[in-house]
Amino acid sequence: MTGIRTPKEKRMILIAGRSHPELADEVASELGVELVPTQSYDFANGEIFVRFKESVRGCDAFVLQSHTSPINQWIMEQLLMVDALKRASAKRITVVTPFYGYARQDKKHTGREPISARLMADLFKCAGADRLMAVDLHTAQIQGFFDGPVDHLFALPLLATYVGRHVDRSKITVVSPDAGRVRVAERWTDILGSPLAIIHKRRDPEVPNEAKVYEVVGDVKDRICVVVDDMIDTGGTIIKASEALLENGAADVIVTATHGVLSDPAADRLKNSRISEVVVTNTLPIPDDRLFDKLTVLSIAPLIARAIREVFDDGSVTSLFETASL
């Protein structure tokens, strides 16, 4: 059985691309369904072919694909899957992107630049998507780019629960790595009951256009600093922020992030840093050569599965986060 039927014959199906099969299998297991058999392959010139091996007519389809490297290939594959579902008469199509590609390009910093995050939303809408689901978008405004319902899921309860159970909460100070993450950091303080500190970045006047000075705003002396961010890419910024905390007397630094992008040379940088632990979720696949002893990977599959179930049952996705506490 590859779907679930209700008494009214409403049918849910879960379809996954090739970018993160481990997460797709976990989500399917949580939902108690099998993934729809799908034929996917690349032509010699790089074009992608997809075809579903069973009928999807009238179904409530959820198309899971995490936008990892090679990111453009997996985005295109997901677009083709949505188009195939639309042309095969699926009743409703929800695009599930645990990591939403191009999210950092959400506004124009200077002239003659694209707003790529908006273009992404337009592409999915044009392909036939009715709904979008994502985990920890880089900025909340991206929800407004898609002309339809957007379910914005948060990994904060999962990450905060882990930290709260493994660290003495009386010694924790939550740290925002920059001004843009303060609001998220404040939600951490509400859950953990911990004070807040902020890393303020400014240019070094003696080294123009090159170096930055990382100033700590808040008391971190002898505290266990938990740095909270949405993603870790190359790791350079997060390591500099952690060094600033340690230089200001922090007893220890733990780094948490929803998305472990871990582009080279992030793994080596983090492994050799003074950070004691790096905690991420599995919204993105992490190859074996980028795993290291300090890295803890938590599964986001139960959250995604619960959100899919709520959407399918016409329930409330918001209710999943209303009672987040420890």
Between the CA atoms of 50, 56, 62 and 67, what dihedral angle is there, to the nearest 10 degrees?
A: 0
Same-domain pairing of 22 and 145: yes
| Other CB atoms within 10 A of residue 51 CB | 13
Longest CA pairwise span in the chain (Å): 71
Residue 141, SS3 per DSSP: helix
Same-domain pairing of 132 and 256: no
Same-domain pairing of 138 and 85: yes
Q: Is the pLDDT of residue 210 over 80?
A: no
Same-domain pairing of 238 and 262: yes
Residue 9 binned pLDDT confidence (cut-offs 50, 70, 90): confident
- Domain range for residue 200? 156-298
Question: Residue 92: which CATH number?
Answer: 3.40.50.2020
- Over the stretch 86-130, which tens digit does the pLDDT of each residue have? 999 999 999 999 999 999 999 998 999 999 999 999 999 999 999
Q: Is the pLDDT of residue 284 over 90?
A: yes
Query: Is residue 325 one of the residues assigned to a domain?
Result: no
Query: Is residue 326 one of the residues assigned to a domain?
Result: no
Q: Quick check: 293 and 277 in contact, CB under 8 A?
A: no
Same-domain pairing of 170 and 114: no
Q: Is the pLDDT of residue 324 over 60?
A: no
User: H/E element holding 85?
Assistant: helix 71-87
Which entry of 91, 125, 201, 271 is annotated as an active-site residue? 201
Tell me the C-alpha distance between 281 and 208, whole Å. 37
Query: Is residue 284 one of the residues assigned to a domain?
Result: yes
Between the CA atoms of 220, 298, 99 and 145, what dihedral angle is there, to the nearest 10 degrees?
A: -70
Q: Name the token pair of 280.
A: 């991420």
Same-domain pairing of 138 and 219: no
Same-domain pairing of 7 and 30: yes
Write down the pLDDT at residue 211: 52
Same-domain pairing of 272 and 311: no
Question: Does the global pTM surpass 0.75?
Answer: yes
Same-domain pairing of 181 and 112: no
Same-domain pairing of 17 and 136: yes
Query: Is residue 274 one of the residues assigned to a domain?
Result: yes
Q: Does residue 294 have an active-site annotation?
A: no
Structural domains counted in the chain: 2
- Over the stretch 235-255, which tens digit does the pLDDT of each residue have? 999 999 999 999 999 999 999
Same-domain pairing of 87 and 105: yes
The residue that leads in pLDDT, 287 or 3, is 287
- Over the stretch 25-64, which tens digit does the pLDDT of each residue have? 999 999 999 999 999 999 999 999 999 999 999 999 999 9
Mean pLDDT (the chain, rounded): 94
Write down the pLDDT at residue 21: 98
Question: What is the b/e burial string over 169-187, where b = at least 16 CB atoms within 10 angstroms of the residue's CB?
Answer: eeebbbbbbeeebeebbeb
Same-domain pairing of 85 and 181: no
Write down the pLDDT at residue 227: 98
